[in-house]
């Protein structure tokens, strides 16, 4: 909530100033949400109006995701996570081999991974409610090469506070500072997702082996926007 959105009433100028100070104190410590990152920059998901396509702009309004990791599906015993992709745009995709829409969209996700990888973009799947063997066979049979976390109970998604873990498939696009830039609670076509990924990748230059500049500390000027017609 911004100060302009707080209600101010009072019969005199002094009372108005006092009331404003009290209200500002209350506005400064709101519970963090997807449309207003906390002072620590952490992300908490709140779906505005139940929309399934949510964009978080400007970049300063985005909340950061950290410590999202889990066991590699294709390389059992190895832990993979966001820390393996510093300075990269990471497209998280929640999926399961049992999920028909997931199977349909994965070739398109592979295409985006292959096309955008030189520009510092990676796909990172999160396989939930699944058999590891079935999911692994599915990826091998369909030549899906981007990494996936095997997370049967979906615990890794706790890093996305408030995110609906039962929504499968879903896709979350993180910018180069691993702030949530877009959320899609539905299956996607390449023509829907690719332009969003390209725009987010173009926000900051990619430095292989490096990291992006620190997040701005300026207060957010806007929250998430929803696009019911698709990106």
210 alpha-carbon distance from chain centroid: 21
Residues 10 and 82 placed together within one structural domain of the fold: no
Residues 26 and 50 placed together within one structural domain of the fold: no
Containing domain of residue 18, as a range?
Answer: 1-30
Residues 86 and 60 placed together within one structural domain of the fold: yes
Residues 5 and 86 placed together within one structural domain of the fold: no
Domain count, the chain: 2
Residues 24 and 37 placed together within one structural domain of the fold: no
pLDDT for position 210:
57
Residues 76 and 180 placed together within one structural domain of the fold: yes
pLDDT for position 223:
56
pLDDT for position 197:
98
List per-block mean pLDDT (blocks of 10 residues) for the chain, which spans 231 residues: 42 41 31 38 85 94 95 96 97 97 97 98 98 95 97 95 94 98 96 98 87 43 51 40
Residues 74 and 185 placed together within one structural domain of the fold: yes
pLDDT for position 11:
44
Residue 231 resides in a domain: no
Residue 173 resides in a domain: yes
What is the pTM (predicted TM-score) of this model?
0.74
Residue 42 resides in a domain: yes
Residues 17 and 60 placed together within one structural domain of the fold: no
Cα–Cα distance, 148 to 170 (Å, whole number):
14
Residue 138 resides in a domain: yes
Look at the chain and count its residues.
231
Residues 90 and 65 placed together within one structural domain of the fold: yes
Cα–Cα distance, 71 to 80 (Å, whole number):
6
Residues 147 and 179 placed together within one structural domain of the fold: yes
What CATH number is attached to the domain comprising 211? 3.40.30.10
């Amino acid at each position: 909530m911004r100060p302009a959105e707080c209600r101010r009433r009072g019969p005199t100028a002094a009372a108005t100033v006092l009331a404003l100070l009290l209200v500002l104190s209350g506005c400064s410590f709101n519970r963090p949400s997807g449309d207003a990152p906390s002072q620590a920059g952490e992300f908490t998901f709140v779906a505005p109006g139940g929309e399934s396509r949510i964009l978080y702009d400007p970049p300063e309004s985005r909340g950061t995701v950290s410590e999202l990791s889990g066991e590699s599906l294709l390389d059992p015993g190895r832990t993979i996570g966001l820390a393996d992709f510093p300075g990269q745009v990471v497209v998280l995709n929640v999926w399961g081999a049992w999920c028909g829409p997931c199977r349909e969209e994965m070739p398109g996700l592979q295409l985006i991974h292959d096309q955008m990888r030189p520009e510092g973009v990676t796909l990172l799947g999160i396989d939930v409610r699944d058999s590891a063997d079935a999911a692994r066979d599915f990826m091998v049979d369909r030549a899906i090469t981007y990494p996936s976390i095997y997370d049967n109970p979906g615990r890794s998604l706790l890093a996305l506070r408030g995110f609906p873990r039962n929504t499968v498939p879903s896709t979350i696009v993180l910018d180069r500072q691993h702030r949530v830039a877009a959320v899609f609670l539905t299956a996607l076509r390449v023509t829907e997702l690719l332009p969003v990924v390209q725009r987010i990748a173009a926000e900051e230059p990619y430095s292989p082996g490096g990291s992006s500049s620190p997040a701005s500390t300026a207060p957010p000027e806007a929250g998430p926007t929803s696009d019911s017609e698709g990106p």
